[in-house]
């Protein structure tokens, strides 16, 4: 075999070996998001790239524990959780590695990413105040902190302190105003509860619509799910409630993200990175907005018509890494205030 033919043969071998490797690539995803809220996108990624995605779903803490037990032998390449606080826990447990991607860094605002790029937000949701329109005027509302006023005694529904969305909300108050002010806020809020915390965010919205309270604090995508439901009883809930964006003259309304990180044990980092970048494309971000009723994290991608109907708002731009850093102090503050 002459030198030119040998070179051509080697080149073709390397080319086809590479293609074969790419075609057989697989990415394993551990996700706390329900299958319906993520699998359609994963299937689309596979259709576009030929990279198979294997999905395991479960509770956030259970998946983090599983990663810890599996250690370096874990098959997981990616971890998806429903909030920044648990991504922080995964990072602190040394379960994630840095995401090296210019596309990620340029597409997602810095406050919606880990300060050291160990995770990145995929979708954003806000935690505003929902009010019963027949009993409360929007002009009566202003900030989260104003809900401690005596006029709201016995009128507020919110889920328990064990819920990480509430822990992150209080962490954001600590970040903004300090622990002493946060403790005074939580004590005043608890004093005004309409009932002992029970149920999830949707339960708070339904309780308000049913007359059990006049104010509910919940994440926007729960309200969006009701707003896009075909069930008459869900529409009745939505029609009774208004959305109020608190703290617009100050730090802005509290927001959180669902997010993703590459595991420390990942066997296929390039494909895992490619999947993250895919989930941040305009196509994927639009899907999230339309199907999940969540706000895009990529600048320039429009929210869905449902989200737009609630109006624009100023979001708290505190780096969400703070929510994880201050989680323990938030829980302690809530415990001292008697928030069950």
How large is the average pLDDT for residues 59-77?
Answer: 96
How large is the average pLDDT for residues 151-169?
Answer: 97
The yes-or-no verdict on residue 205 having pLDDT over 90 is yes
Cα 138 to chain centroid, rounded: 27
CA distance 282 to 42: 15
The yes-or-no verdict on residue 262 having pLDDT over 60 is yes
CATH superfamily of 126-253+320-337: Periplasmic binding protein-like II (3.40.190.10)
> Among the listed ranges 132-141, 223-232, 299-308, which one has the minimum average pLDDT value?
299-308
Counting residues of the chain whose pLDDT is more than 90, the rounded percentage is 89
The reported pLDDT for the residue numbered 10 is 41
The yes-or-no verdict on residue 92 having pLDDT over 90 is yes
**Is the separation of the CB atoms in 125 and 295 below 8 Å?**
yes
**Is 118 annotated to bind ligand?**
no
Question: In this predicted model, which residue has the larger pLDDT, 63 or 34?
Answer: 63
**Is the separation of the CB atoms in 273 and 265 below 8 Å?**
no
Per domain, the residue ranges of the chain are: 26-125+257-302, 126-253+320-337
The yes-or-no verdict on residue 231 having pLDDT over 60 is yes
Structure tokens at 335: 């415990």
The yes-or-no verdict on residue 5 having pLDDT over 90 is no
Give the pairing type, strands 255-263 and 78-81: antiparallel
Q: Cα dist. 66→90, 264, 288 in Å? A: 11, 13, 27
Strand partners, 291: none
CA distance 36 to 238: 23
DSSP 113: B
The reported pLDDT for the residue numbered 194 is 98
DSSP 153: T
CA distance 330 to 177: 12
The reported pLDDT for the residue numbered 16 is 36
Q: Which long-range CB contacts under 8 A does 205-211 form with residues at least 24 apart?
A: 205/130, 205/237, 205/241, 206/237, 207/157, 208/130, 208/131, 208/132, 208/157, 208/240, 208/241, 209/132, 209/236, 209/237, 209/240, 209/241, 211/132
How large is the average pLDDT for residues 5-27?
Answer: 48
Average pLDDT score, the chain: 92
DSSP 73: G
The yes-or-no verdict on residue 22 having pLDDT over 90 is no
**Is 144 annotated to bind ligand?**
no
> Among the listed ranges 24-28, 219-223, 260-264, which one has the minimum average pLDDT value?
24-28
What's the predicted TM-score (pTM) here? Answer: 0.89
Q: Cα dist. 215→17, 130, 207, 243, 259 in Å? A: 61, 6, 9, 10, 29
Neighbours of 237 (CB within 10 A): 21
Give the pairing type, strands 156-157 and 215-217: parallel
Q: Express each pLDDT in 285-336 by its tens digit.
A: 999 999 889 999 998 899 999 999 999 999 999 999 999 999 999 999 999 9
Report the interhelical angle of 220-227 vs 201-209 (nearest 10°). Answer: 60
The answer regarding whether domain 26-125+257-302 maps to CATH 3.40.190.10 reads yes
């Amino acid at each position: 075999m002459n030198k030119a033919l040998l070179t051509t043969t080697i080149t073709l071998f390397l080319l086809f070996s590479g293609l074969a490797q790419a075609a057989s690539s697989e990415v394993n995803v551990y996700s706390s998001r329900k299958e319906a809220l993520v699998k359609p996108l994963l299937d689309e990624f596979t259709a576009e790239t030929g990279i198979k995605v294997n999905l395991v779903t479960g509770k956030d803490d259970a998946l983090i524990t599983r990663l810890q037990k599996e250690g370096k032998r874990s098959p997981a390449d990616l971890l998806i959780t429903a909030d920044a606080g648990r991504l922080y826990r995964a990072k602190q447990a040394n379960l994630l590695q840095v995401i090296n991607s210019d596309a990620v860094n340029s597409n997602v605002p810095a406050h919606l990413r880990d300060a050291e790029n160990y995770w990145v937000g995929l979708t954003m949701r806000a935690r505003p105040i929902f009010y019963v329109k027949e009993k409360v005027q929007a002009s009566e509302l202003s900030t989260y902190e104003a809900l401690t006023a005596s006029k709201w005694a016995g009128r507020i529904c919110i889920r328990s302190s064990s819920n990480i969305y509430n822990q992150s909300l209080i962490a954001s108050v600590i970040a903004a105003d300090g622990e002493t002010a946060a403790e005074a806020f939580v004590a005043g809020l608890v004093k005004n509860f309409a009932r002992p915390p029970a149920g999830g965010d949707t339960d708070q919205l339904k309780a308000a619509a049913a007359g059990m309270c006049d104010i509910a604090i919940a994440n926007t995508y729960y309200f969006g799910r009701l707003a896009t439901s075909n069930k008459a009883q869900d529409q009745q809930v939505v029609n009774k409630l208004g959305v109020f964006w608190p703290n617009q003259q100050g730090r802005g309304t509290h927001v959180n993200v669902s997010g993703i990180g590459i595991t420390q044990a990942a066997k296929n980092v390039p494909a895992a990175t490619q999947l993250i970048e895919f989930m941040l494309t305009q196509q994927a971000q639009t899907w999230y907005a339309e199907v999940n009723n969540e706000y895009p994290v990529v600048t320039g991608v429009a929210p869905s018509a449902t989200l737009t109907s609630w109006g624009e708002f100023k979001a708290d731009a505190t780096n969400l890494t703070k929510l994880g850093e201050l989680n323990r102090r938030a829980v302690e503050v809530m415990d001292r205030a008697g928030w069950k």
